[in-house]
Amino acid sequence: MEYDKRLEHVTILGAAGKMGSGILLLTALEMLALKLKPENRSKEYQLYAMDISEEGLEGLIEYIKKQVRKNGERKIDKVKELYTGKAGLTGDEDIVNRYVADVIGLIKPVTDLKTAYQSGLIFEAVNEDLKLKVRLLSEINKNNPEKPWFLTNTSSVPIHELDEQAGLEGRIMGFHFYNPPAIQKLVEVIKSEKTIPDLVEFSKELVIRLGKIMVPANDVAGFIGNGHFMRDALFGIQKVEELSSEMSFAEAVFAINTVSRKFLIRPMGIFRLVDYVGVDVVRLILKVMDPHFPDETLFSPLFDKLKAIGVKGGQNPDGSQKDGFLKYEEGNIAGVYDPDKKDYIPVQDIKTKVNEKLGQLPEGMLPWKELIKNPDKEALVEKIFSNMASMETLGAKLTIEYGTRSKEIGLQLVDGKVAQSEKDVNTVLLTGFYHIYGPINKYF
């Protein structure tokens, strides 16, 4: 089935979620671009936004309207090209209004899975739960005479497991967007041994049409992004446990978060990143990955402890950060959670002490925000880490340990045939995580 035909009738599962809403937006924009082609204008394009949350679906359309308007205003010249020859559109505002109306006209919010029984393409973006995914995909497959293709946004579940357990006969691929999908350029694309060639080619074309950067990953639990991130987070917890013999738990968390942000020159410290993804989500991903790596322990009792207490992290509907390992006020870190006290320790109570223990930053250090835009960043980063190697402070020692472990993880992903090359590992961390340098580097 040709590319245009496959996108005539599409369903997004989990459309009201953070990932699903972004995937819905991107799909709607691409479907409208196809519909407005002269040869397709008589065809009926339908995009079903399926979710069990009626409340979530209510706010979804307003979100899509706002984002489509922004996209139309930002890319007005391209939007004008779509409406070339259309009567009654006399100015930019008219064109953008029509653009928004046409996109919204494609979308039908639904809570009934049966609407997916006629779709030729299904995007799955539900929770990272193997049983849930298999149940939904299997039910659609059994009741859909179109033999649909499935693109799953899973960030950790092996594609062959979904294929085999749902009986999809190779009609599924991993199509892992990064959060938020509308902004992030990276898509990890994963095929299993049984994925049909036509779906592979379709996925490649879709990545290009959406303006994304594709990195292929092999069909191994966690793939490249979470293969690195989960191990990176577990190393951070390991270092917290070691430091807790000489400082409090909250101080140790703040220290490692500081090292993994300031000293390693990353956009977020490791515990803030865990909070951003969601403490509960990270726990689920580790639960998926752990059985697939019998020679490793991809597990930490701390995540179970935090779940039992109710510390989840994640984001609010407006995009603001929920409290997790860290407490946030107006986007800034205001506290660190102490599981024993079941309360947040104010940052002002521990910051000075922790910074004194870590010691000074190396000569030439610049914050991530400045370095990421600097055309000479590679030389500057090399000099910073060269200076750090000669320092005897706790902060420098932890940084070298953390950077070395990060490199080991990256090489492990290549040696374990999760990634096809060192370049692919670095591309995922540079593009999907906004790092300044890849984990496989000459600095550590």
Who contacts 106 (Cβ-Cβ below 8 Å, separation ≥6)? 28, 31, 32, 35, 45, 46, 47
Instruction: Convert the pLDDT of each residue in 369-409 to its tens digit.
Output: 999 999 999 999 999 999 999 999 999 999 999 999 999 99
3-217 belongs to CATH 3.40.50.720: yes
Pairwise CA distance, residues 11 & 74, whole Å: 27
**The pairing of beta strand 186-190 with beta strand 172-177:** antiparallel
Q: Give the model's pLDDT for residue 90.
A: 78
Residue that the structure tokens 């020859």 belong to:
85
Q: State mean pLDDT over 5-29.
A: 96
User: Among residues 106, 132, 114, which one has the least CA distance to residue 28?
Assistant: 106
Cα distances from 325 to residues 128, 303, 304, 328, in angstroms, run 21, 10, 13, 10
pLDDT at 40: 87
Domain with CATH 3.40.50.720 in the chain: 3-217
Determine the residue type at 409.
I
C-alpha count within 13 angstroms, C-beta hemisphere, residue 63? 25
Q: For residue 422, what are its two tokens?
A: 């060192």
380 to each of 351, 373, 377, 390, how far by Cα in Å? 27, 12, 5, 16
CA distance 4 to 36: 12
Between CA 425 and CA 216 the distance in angstroms is 10
Residue 92 burial by Cβ neighbours in a 10 Å radius (0-12, 13-18, 19+): middle
Percentage with pLDDT > 70 across the chain: 100
Which CATH architecture best describes the domain 225-432?
Answer: Orthogonal Bundle (1.10)
- Residue recorded with tokens 């008589």: 42
> Are 29 and 71 contacting, i.e. CB atoms less than 8 angstroms apart?
yes
Of 362, 366, 354, 365, residue with least CA distance to 392: 362
Average pLDDT, the chain: 95
Alpha-carbon dihedral angle through residues 34, 39, 40, 42, given to the nearest 10 degrees: 160
What average pLDDT score do residues 231-254 get? 97
Nearest-angstrom CA–CA distance, 179 and 148: 26
Strand order in the sheet with 343-346: 326-329, 332-338, 343-346
Q: What is the pLDDT of residues 75-133, one digit of tens each?
A: 999 999 988 877 777 789 999 999 999 999 999 999 999 999 999 999 999 999 999 99
| Angle value at C-alpha 197, between 222 and 144, nearest 5 degrees | 85
pLDDT confidence bin for 1, thresholds 50/70/90: low
In the chain, residues under CATH classification 1.10.1040.10 are 225-432
Q: Are 103 and 110 in contact (CB under 8 A)?
A: no
* pLDDT at residue 32 tops 60: yes
| 130-155 pLDDT per residue, tens | 999 999 999 999 999 989 999 999 99
The answer to whether 228 touches 158, Cβ cutoff 8 Å, is: no
